[in-house]
Amino acid sequence: PAVVIENLTKAVKVLNEAMARDPVALKFSIDDTLNRPVVTVISEETGKIMLQLPQEEVLRAVKNIELMRGAVFEDKG
């Protein structure tokens, strides 16, 4: 998993550098908690997020499921 995260981090950096050269409002990142890629479309005029994949609600749900799974397995140990 550490190699995958490192490769993903490098890919995100390359994508962000490529997108910075064009007037396209895309941001690539990795969710710190889940180590999953996130793509955000930002309005260049307003700076507001127009679309995020996966959506914030999905990221929150996955984080909550991971927390619940950890609590359940921790109690059984």
Q: How many helices (H) and strands (E) does the chain have?
A: 2, 3
Kindly report the length of the chain.
Answer: 77
Give residue-wise pLDDT tens across range 21-59: 655 578 889 888 878 888 888 878 788 887 888 888 888
- Count CB-CB contacts under 10 A for residue 40: 15
Enter the pTM of the model.
0.51
Please report the pLDDT score of residue 74 as a whole number.
67
Please report the pLDDT score of residue 6 as a whole number.
85
Judge whether 17 and 28 are in contact, CB under 8 Å: no
Give the gyration radius of the chain's Cα atoms. Answer: 16
